[in-house]
Amino acid sequence: MLELEFMRLAFAAGAIVGVLAPAVGFFLVQRELSLIGDGIGHVAFAGVAAGYLLGVSPVLTALIAAVLGAITIEWLRARRRTAGDQALALVFYTGIAGGVVLVSAADRLNVNLFQYLFGSILTVTRGDLAVIAALGLASLAAIALLLRSLLAVTLDEEGARVAGLPVPLLNGAITVLAALTIALSMRIVGILLIAALMVLPVIAAQRIAWSLRSTMVIAIAIGLASVLTGLTTAYYGDLPPGGTIVLVAAAFFVLASGARAVLRGA
C-alpha cells in the first residue's frame, strides 16, 4: 500500500487533517456551533464550481468562499442582527443554492465535482500536500499560541470581554480556522463530510475525558486514528475514503459511549 505514491501523499495529508479537524471542532462544539461546518462546506462547494467556471484553482476559490462564509456568519452573530442558528441557516441555504446554480453551469464543462464533495485519495498531489502542510501547520500553531484566549472566549464570552480580551478577533479566528480546515480537507474527506470529522471525535472524547484539555487531546487522537484507519480500510476494501473515515469516527463514538456506560456501572 505505502509503495504507491498517491497513498503516501494521502496518508501524509490525512494525518494533518485528522489532527486539525478535531482541534478546530473542539471550539465549535463547546460553542454549540457543531453544524457550522456544514454551512461553510456548502459555501465552499459553490466556490469549487466557481473556480471551474472561472478557469482558476477550485481549491483557491473554495478557500476564499469558505472564509467569506465564515466571516459572514460571525459578523451577523456578533452584531445580534441574526441569531447564531439563523445566521448559519442563511449562509447554509445561500451557499447550497449558489452551488446548485454553479454546478449546473459546470456540468456543461463535464467537470466531475464528486471528488470535492466526498473526497478522493487519488487526487492528492505533491502540490496539494505542500499547501495542506503549510496552512494546516500554521493553523495548529495559531491554536497552540492562542489556546488560553480561545478557551476563555469559548467558555465565557462576557467574562473574556471584561478581562480585556479581543473577543471579536478571537471569535473571527475560530470561524476562519473552521473555514481553512474545510477547504484543506476537500481532497481527503470531502466538503459534505468534513464537518463530521470536526465534530464526531470531539463528542466521542467528551464521553471519556475528565477535563477540557483531555477532551482536546483525546479528540485529536480519535481524529487521527479515524483518518488513518479509514484510509487503510478504504484502500483494501475498495471503498470511498471520505465516507469510510466518517464511519470509523462514528464507531469511535459508539465505543466511547459504551466505555462510559461500563465505567459508570462499575
Q: Which residue has the higher pLDDT, 265 or 222?
A: 222
pLDDT at 161: 83
Average pLDDT over residues 122-135: 82
Average pLDDT value for the chain = 82
In the structure, how many helices (H) and strands (E) does the chain have?
12, 0
Phi, psi of 156 (to 5 degrees): -150, 90
- pLDDT tens figures, 168-204: 888 888 888 988 888 888 777 887 788 888 999 999 9
CA gyration radius for the chain?
Answer: 18
- Percent of the chain past pLDDT 70, that is, above it, reads 90
Q: Which amino acid is at 239?
A: L
Distances, alpha carbon 126 to alpha carbons 16, 17, 184, 196, 252, in Å: 14, 15, 14, 26, 30
d(CA 8, CA 15): 11
Phi, psi of 66 (to 5 degrees): -65, -45
pLDDT at 265: 63
State the CB neighbour count (10 A cutoff) for residue 131.
19
pLDDT at 75: 78
- Percent of the chain past pLDDT 90, that is, above it, reads 19
pLDDT at 108: 52
Dihedral sign of CA atoms 52, 56, 61, 63 in order: positive
**Nearest alpha-carbon partner for 33 in 143, 174, 166:** 174
pLDDT at 220: 94
251 class by beta-carbon count within 10 Å (0-12 exposed, 13-18 middle, 19+ buried): middle
d(CA 30, CA 151): 9
Average pLDDT over residues 216-223: 93
Distances, alpha carbon 52 to alpha carbons 47, 116, 204, in Å: 9, 12, 37
d(CA 22, CA 181): 10
CB 180 within 8 A of CB 135: yes
State the CB neighbour count (10 A cutoff) for residue 194.
30
- pLDDT tens figures, 65-123: 888 888 887 777 766 655 556 667 777 777 778 777 877 776 655 556 677 777 776 67
